[in-house]
Structure formats: structure tokens, C-alpha cells
Structure 1
Amino acid sequence: MDGTVLIADDDRTIRTVLTKALTRAGCRVHATGSLAQLVRWVEESRPDLVITDVVMPDGNGIDLIPALHRARPDLPVIVISAQNTIVTAVRAQGANAFDYLPKPFDLPELMARARAALERRGRARPAADAPAGSDEVAGADPAMPLVGRAPSMQALFRLVARLLDADLPVLIAGEAGSGRSTLARSLHELSARRDAPLIRLSPADSSEAAFARARAAGDSGGTLLVEDPAGFDAGGQARLSALLEALADAPQPPRVLSTMGPDPRAALAEGRLRSDLYWRLAGAVLDVPALRERIDDIPALARHLLARAAVQGLPKRGLGDDAAAALRAHAFPGNVRELENMMSRLALTAQGPEITPAEVNAALAEAGPQRRTTPAPHPAPRAAVAPPTAKTDQGGVTHLSEAVEAQLRRYFDLHGEDLPPAGLYDRVLAEIERPLIELTLAATGGNQLRAADLLGINRNTLRKKVTTLNIGVTRPRRLM
């Protein structure tokens, strides 16, 4: 690498590490803990790259980017921040930052992005890349629980920033409680449409009056959110498809968002969702990861939710590292919604200013035996309902029906006063069907004829289910 790099960060360790790494790579580096000094350097010299933190003693690094670009329109700026929220990512994108990286970052990744920025120096990003109205994003609600530095969440934040003011319909896929509705609300409230209404349409309210409200979105230029389109009956899906076609020709077409389960393509393949409706909704697909797939985010997210609870009037509580470690051991089948409810209860019931590990463990015991002893090396498959765990009585007899009933009861409880999304019967059967077929195939060494006989179903039926459920079938190797 070659070029002059300016670093602004109030953490001396980060300045030292970046200075040494970039110097070894061949760059000329100047580092400061002051944004004022950074501005002077940009105005007095011709740097090739700026790397800046967001929260600094004398200002905000993102707010400074427009001034840096006025002095040097072609200057790439990489933002690094410990504020790993969707608002930070959107603001960095809106300020026309070259890139955004959450702290703590991997040094090789930052070096790779610095190299890319230096290779593109002299070529300013077009102003069209900045979301319309992005100067107002700073006033957006920072309490939305879209927090995380996991790679999957950071990739999601970047996609949201790019799609913020696009007219493309967006389908948000994920498990119940993972944050689909919150993400949809963010796409509306952080966009240029924030002053227009957000109108929801769901299977629970698919009356003529609800469709009339949805049609009104075409006159307001707002956002139409379709919740669980696969949950509408055949007639409702036909009306929904016709509505979307009519709204596309409206004077001020609304932004169309939709939320579905973790595998929208399965609903399409199984015939639960009309193909024309799917393609009207899935201009872009955003996958929201389950909480168990980003367990390292749990401590920061839990503290964020405690801070939000305090703003809402609950007692202000802290969360120590030991208590946070106890949270990480829980599988959280209800995802962020379950964690949010748990932190609200702990904020209300904790005996001191800091929630103790014992209080966390007591809350987890009430939640049930969804425990993780060691982090899984690969994310567990996403599920609309957590897989049933058999339990054993004192005589050692396993009662699968009781375990299934307990899991379903917890699933209903997680929705509070609301009902779960429609289609529960098929989802529950699918949750039992997949592990049953997988275990049977494993027991028969991948022999589908023997597996079909053991299951008591036709071999062609088994093949179809293996394909539909995307089950991998492997036969054991013969040892010579």
C-alpha cells in the first residue's frame, strides 16, 4: 500500500496499532485524538485516506465527514465505531463514508478496506449514493433494538443503508421475535418517507376496511407493510396481488415491505404463497439472523435493552460480565423478543443497581431448559418453533408429547396477548418431520429404501420430502 493516512481516535491503543500496521504496509501515517486536529491536517495537506472514530471528545466523526469532503471531495473516509447499531451504519452511509467497520474490528479486515480505499483514491463516490433526507437520520430513534457487531448483523446493516430510500420492495425473512417488524419500522422511520404513514396489512386483519387503508397508502407516498403474506388464504393472496399491482400505478406509489418466516422459498415451493405475489414482494430479501446465531451480541444487546427499559420508566440496572455470560448460555428460542422481556423483568425485580448472575439464572430457570453448554461450531437451523426436547420422569420414561406440549405452550406465551402467525399446524409438523427423517436416514446409513420402510411411507414420498426439506443424504464409506 502507498499513501498518506490520517487516523482520529481517542483510544491511544487503537491509534498505536493502526499506525504500526499501516506504516509496515508502506503508508505515511499521522494519528490524533482530536477531530479539530484532523480537520487542520486535511485542510493543510493532501491525505489519501481518513480513518475516524465516531464518538470523540470534541465532536462526532460522522458529523465531520461533510466538512472533510468540502475540503477534499475525493477523500475516502472509513468510519470505525463501538456504537454497533443500525443508526450508526445508516448515518455513515448517508454521510458518504467510504466504509463502516464496528469495534472491536479485525485488523486484517480493516487493512483490506484501507487498501481498497487507497486503490480508489481520486474517484469520489457520487452524491446519489447518499440516502435522501439522510441529514435527518441523526434524529432517528436510537432505542430500536437493532444492535450487533456479528458479521451477519453488520452485513444486514449495510444492506439496509443501501436500500433505505430505494423504491425496491423488500421482503424481511426471519424467525418470530428476531426483529423483523423492528427492521421494517427502521426502513420506514429512517427513510425519506418517515413523515408519511406506515400502514400494516396482516392475515389477522384482512377485512375490506384493512385493504382500503392499504390502498390509501397509494395516495400518501408512505409505506405498506404486509405481514406474513403466506398466512393469507387463497382469496386474500389474490386480492393482495391485485392491490400491489394497482398501487404500482398510484400517483405516489408506496414503499412495499413484507415479513415472513426464515425460508420464504419453502412457502413458495410448498404452494402456500402465490408465485406472482412472492415476486412482487421479493425485490430484495433481508435475512434477520436468529439470536442463537449471534450469541456474542447477547451481552451488548442485553445492556442496550436495559438502557431502553430505563428510558421507558423502569429502574436503571447494570449487567456485569458474569451475568452476561449466564445469558449467553441460553438458547433464546423466542429470540430478541424473549431477551427483551427477560431484561424488562430483571430491571423490575433485581435487588440492586446491578443484576447478579443468580438473578439471571433464576430468570432462565423460569424460561425453561433451553440451555447451551458450549457455543455450537455452526449456527443451528432456523426454526419457527424450537425443536421439542424430550423429558424424562423419575422412572426414566420419556414423554415426548409432554415435551412438545411444553414447547408449544412456551411458543404461545412468547406472543403475549397476540396470536402466532397463521400456518402453525404445518410449521409444527415440519419441525417434527425434519429431525425424524434425518435421524432415520442416519440410522439406516442413508439407505432411503430402508428408511422409507422404517417410517412406513412410500419411497417416492420420502425422496420428495428430502428434496423439499433440503435434507442432505450421505452414505457411509466402505473401508477397504
Structure 2
Amino acid sequence: MDGTVLIADDDRTIRTVLTQALTRAGCRVHATGSLAQLTKWVDEGRGDLVITDVMMPDGNGIDRIPEIRETRPDLPVIVISAQNTIVTAIRATEAEAFEYLPKPFDLPDLMAKANQALSRRVRKSDPLPEGGAVTRDSADPTMPLIGHAPAMQALFRMVARVLNADLPVLIAGEPGVGKTIIARSFHELSDRRERGLAFLTSADAGDEAFSRAAEKARGGTIVIENPAGFDQAAQARLIGMIESIEAGPDRAMAPRIVATTGPEPQADVANGRLRSDLYYRLAGVTVSVPPLRARVDDILPLAAHLLARAASQGLPERSLSDEAASLLRVHAFPGNVRELENMMRRLALTASGAAISEAELREALSQQGGAAPAMPVVAAATASPATVSAPSPGPAMTGGTGRLSDSVEAHLQRYFDLHGDALPPPGLYDRILREVERPLLQVALDATGGNQLKCADLLGINRNTLRKKLTELNIEVTRRRKLM
């Protein structure tokens, strides 16, 4: 790798580690905690690549990209950010950043992107519309489209890539995951945001309703909610509406079609609930929204976001106690984001103090349809010490054998006993494996001094699998591994 890299990040640790890694790779590096200094270097003609954080003490890194492109159109910019929201991903894409990587990032991945950027230059293209970045920031900041989990970051990248494409979009996912919010974002964050937005549900099945929606959304967006829920006659009318829009005389002002559906739309086609000809008209691009169980590490940041939003709407300011946070993290959330939002609003209104207690959260969970007691299975790495209980000595442990299987069995039996005659929430298998896997990886990493190659060999897995698991479990590491 050859070239000069300019780094702007207010985190000294990240500056140091990136400087060392890039220097070892053969690059010359200038690092600063100031966007003003970065701008000065760019204006002086220094650098073949910029790596910048977003939120800096003296400004926003993405806001500087248009200036950099105007001054140095061939200078690629890699954006790294802890602001893991869909707006950040979209703004980085619109500003034509070479790459956007959410924190915590994988250092080998960043190095590979840096090598690609130094090997070629980003083409010069049209500048952003005047005020475009400000408009994106002014889009509804209360939308709970946040997430560090790989599944959510993949979703954000997909939305950013097709946001302004002239293609219909089908948004698939389980009930309550936020499909309607994603659908709304395709309108409110796109170039169509100044035009109309119309929604069609199975209750709006008549020709008159379809005509009103098409007129209201002229040049904007029509969102069709769960087309498989429309009867066959209404689905035929939907096809007619789409065909008239696509073949109409005013094609330039045709609304974009965005539809929401269940997690397996092709199964709806197979069983006859959704007409295949309608499905293929809607599925220009299919976007899958992951359930909360696929992004466990997003639950607590999302809960904090929802509590802050409730406070901005006039409810008391609340936060989660450590004990409540540990309990919330192991809840199965059959209702996904919608369930979490309803629960946080109720707790914001009813909690007795500024910090929501474990007892208050447990009561709220029971009202939602099944509490999740604090998981006692090898949870020292993730739970508050107050919530971790030693297992009751079982017959196989009293003789000092201390077999791991006996200890795990005792913990599991206690967990089941906490539910009395009821069963634990669904998804127990994945939750148990996650609780065991995290401390195993952490102890193995500590034992190998943070060397991923040695750690993978110790565990008997390949290095790529280890990296994937570290990302999925959001394990903070040091040295040459994922950085915060």
C-alpha cells in the first residue's frame, strides 16, 4: 500500500491505532482531531486519501466532503462514525464518500477499503443540490432507524443505494419491525420529499380510493401496506393502477410505488394470497428488515432513543437502571420494535423515578405478554453483577468435580424454575448459545493476547468465522481487532 493518508478523528486511540496500522502497511500518515486542520491539509494539496469521523468538536465530517470534492475531486474519503443511523448512511452515500464504515469497525476491513481507495480515485460528479445536507438533517429525527448490528447496517446501505432509483420497492419483515417507518423514509429522505405521500391499505380497496392516492402522490410516493391482505379483485385493481401510472401521459410525475409485506412474500405467492403478477410489479428491489432478535445489541441503544423521543414529546425524562437494562436485553420481543416503543412510552409515564427499576420493567414485560427473568446463564460478561446468581449446588457439583455441563444445567434449571409453571419466552436456544459464546470468545481472546489468528486456532474455527462472531456479538477488542 502506498500513499499519504489524512486522518481526522477526535478519539486519540483511534488516531494512534490507524496511524500505526497504515504506517506498517507502507503509508505516510497525518492525523488530527480537528476538521479545520484536515481542511488546511487538503487545501495545501496533501494526502491521497482522507479517513474522517462524522461528529467532530469543530464540525461534521460529512459536511466537509462537498468542499473536499470541489477542491480535490480525485481525493477519496472514507467516513467512519458511531452515528449508526440510516440518515448517516444516506448522507455519506449522497456526498459520494468512497466508503462508510460504522463504529466499531473491523481494522482489516478498513485497511482493505483504504487500499482500494489508494488504488483508484473517485470520479468527479455533479455536486449535491444546494442545501441538500441540511434537508437530510431536518428529516424526521425521531424515526427509530438506528442500529449498529450488521443486519441493520446492511439495510441502511441498501436503502441509501436505491433511495432515488426509479424502481418499486418491496419491504419485507415480521410484524412490528418498522416496515412502515422504512417505507416512509424512502419518501421523506428522497428527492420526492416535497411531493405527496399516500398510503393504501386493504380498507382502501375501491377504484376511487386508488385514484385519490395516485393524485395525492403525484411525483411523490404511494405506500401499499400488505398487498397480500387485499382480496383478489382489489389486487387486480392495484395492478391496473400501477399499469396506468407506468403508461400514463404524465410519466415524469409518476409516483414511486413502495409496498410492505410479511417476511416471506414468495410464500404468499405460492399459497395464492398474493398474485404473482402483482408481486413482480412490486418487487423491483426487495429490502428485508431484521427482527430485534437478529440485532440484540441494538436493543438498549434503541430503548434509550425511544425514551429520549418520549421525553421530547412531553413525557418525563427516564433512563434504564443497570438491572433493568440486563433484563431488557434477554427479552424475546415477539412484537419487535413496536412492542419496545409501547413499553418505553408506558414506563416513561409510570416509572416512579428517573431510572426505571428492574421491578418496573418486569411488570411492564408481564403486561406485554410474558416477562423475561434476568438470564442467569454464564452472564458475567453482559449482566450487572447484581443480576448474576451462583447456581445452587447440584449433586454432581458437591463432590468438587466442577464439570461445566453440570454448572450450565444448574443455571438452566434455575432459569426454568423462575418461570414457575410457564415456559420461558420463545428463542431460548439462540439466547443460551449467545450467553455462552460471548464469555468463551472473550476469555480466549484474553488468553491469546488479542491475537485473532491464535484465538481462532485455539477455538478450532477459521479466522473469518471469528471476525464475524466478534462483529455479531459486538465484543469490544483491542490491538489489531475491532476498534471503538
Which interval holds the TM-score relative to the shorter structure? Answer: 0.7 to 0.9
Match among 241, 246, 249 for residue 247 of structure 2: 249
Partner of 2:64 in structure 1?
A: 64
C-alpha deviation, 1:320, in angstroms: 4.2
User: Against the structure 1 CA distance between its residues 58 and 296, is the aligned structure 2 distance closer, same or farther, given a 3 Å change threshold?
Assistant: same
Partner of 2:259 in structure 1?
A: 258
Partner of 2:369 in structure 1?
A: 368
Partner of 1:303 in structure 2?
A: 304
8 Å CA contact retained: 1:131, 1:164: no
Cα deviation, 1:212-270, whole Å, max 9, x if unaligned, reads: 2123146x211111111111111111111011000112311111000000001101111
**Equivalent residue letter for 1:168:** L
Partner of 1:420 in structure 2?
A: none
C-alpha deviation, 1:99, in angstroms: 1.1
8 Å CA contact retained: 1:90, 1:161: yes
8 Å CA contact retained: 1:95, 1:134: no
**Equivalent residue letter for 1:80:** I
**Equivalent residue letter for 2:109:** E
Partner of 1:180 in structure 2?
A: 179
Counterpart CA distance in 1 for 2:131 and 2:277 is 33
Query: Secondary structure at 1:224's aligned position in 2?
Result: strand
Gaps of 5+ in 2: 379-415, 427-484
Query: Secondary structure at 1:332's aligned position in 2?
Result: coil
Match among 226, 229, 235 for residue 228 of structure 1: 226
Gaps of 5+ in 1: 376-390, 408-480
C-alpha deviation, 1:318, in angstroms: 2.1
**Equivalent residue letter for 2:348:** A
CA RMSD of aligned residues (A): 2.6
Cα deviation, 1:403-443, whole Å, max 9, x if unaligned, reads: 9xx99xxxxxxxxxxxxxxxxxxxxxxxxxxxxxxxxxxxx
**Equivalent residue letter for 1:347:** A
Counterpart CA distance in 2 for 1:395 and 1:96 is 56
**Equivalent residue letter for 2:81:** S
8 Å CA contact retained: 1:94, 1:131: no
C-alpha deviation, 1:362, in angstroms: 2.6
Partner of 2:314 in structure 1?
A: 313
Is 1:37 the counterpart of 2:3? The answer is: no
**Equivalent residue letter for 1:108:** P
Partner of 1:440 in structure 2?
A: none
Partner of 1:281 in structure 2?
A: 282
Query: Secondary structure at 1:196's aligned position in 2?
Result: coil
8 Å CA contact retained: 1:96, 1:125: no
C-alpha deviation, 1:357, in angstroms: 2.8
C-alpha deviation, 1:133, in angstroms: 7.8
Counterpart CA distance in 2 for 1:358 and 1:294 is 25
Counterpart CA distance in 2 for 1:203 and 1:267 is 16
8 Å CA contact retained: 2:69, 2:124: no
Partner of 2:188 in structure 1?
A: 189
User: Against the structure 1 CA distance between its residues 176 and 132, is the aligned structure 2 distance closer, same or farther, given a 3 Å change threshold?
Assistant: farther
Counterpart CA distance in 1 for 2:129 and 2:165 is 8
Counterpart CA distance in 1 for 2:321 and 2:96 is 37
Partner of 1:2 in structure 2?
A: 2
Query: Secondary structure at 1:248's aligned position in 2?
Result: helix
Counterpart CA distance in 2 for 1:8 and 1:369 is 47
Query: Secondary structure at 1:141's aligned position in 2?
Result: coil
Counterpart CA distance in 2 for 1:29 and 1:338 is 48
Counterpart CA distance in 2 for 1:131 and 1:182 is 25
C-alpha deviation, 1:124, in angstroms: 1.9
8 Å CA contact retained: 1:222, 1:254: yes
**Once the two structures are aligned, what percentage of the paired residues are identical?**
63
Partner of 2:18 in structure 1?
A: 18
8 Å CA contact retained: 1:171, 1:260: yes
**Equivalent residue letter for 1:332:** F
Counterpart CA distance in 1 for 2:125 and 2:371 is 49
8 Å CA contact retained: 1:75, 1:124: no
Cα deviation, 1:292-339, whole Å, max 9, x if unaligned, reads: 110011011111111111111111112344432221100101000000
User: Against the structure 1 CA distance between its residues 267 and 55, is the aligned structure 2 distance closer, same or farther, given a 3 Å change threshold?
Assistant: same
User: Against the structure 1 CA distance between its residues 395 and 294, is the aligned structure 2 distance closer, same or farther, given a 3 Å change threshold?
Assistant: closer
Query: Secondary structure at 2:353's aligned position in 1?
Result: coil
Higher relative contact order, chain-length normalized (CA < 8 Å, sep 6+)? 2
C-alpha deviation, 1:113, in angstroms: 1.7
Partner of 2:440 in structure 1?
A: none
Counterpart CA distance in 1 for 2:138 and 2:87 is 10
Counterpart CA distance in 1 for 2:337 and 2:139 is 21
C-alpha deviation, 1:8, in angstroms: 0.6
Counterpart CA distance in 2 for 1:126 and 1:275 is 39
TM-score normalized by structure 1? 0.75
**Equivalent residue letter for 2:223:** L
Counterpart CA distance in 2 for 1:266 and 1:103 is 36
Counterpart CA distance in 2 for 1:324 and 1:24 is 41
8 Å CA contact retained: 2:9, 2:52: yes
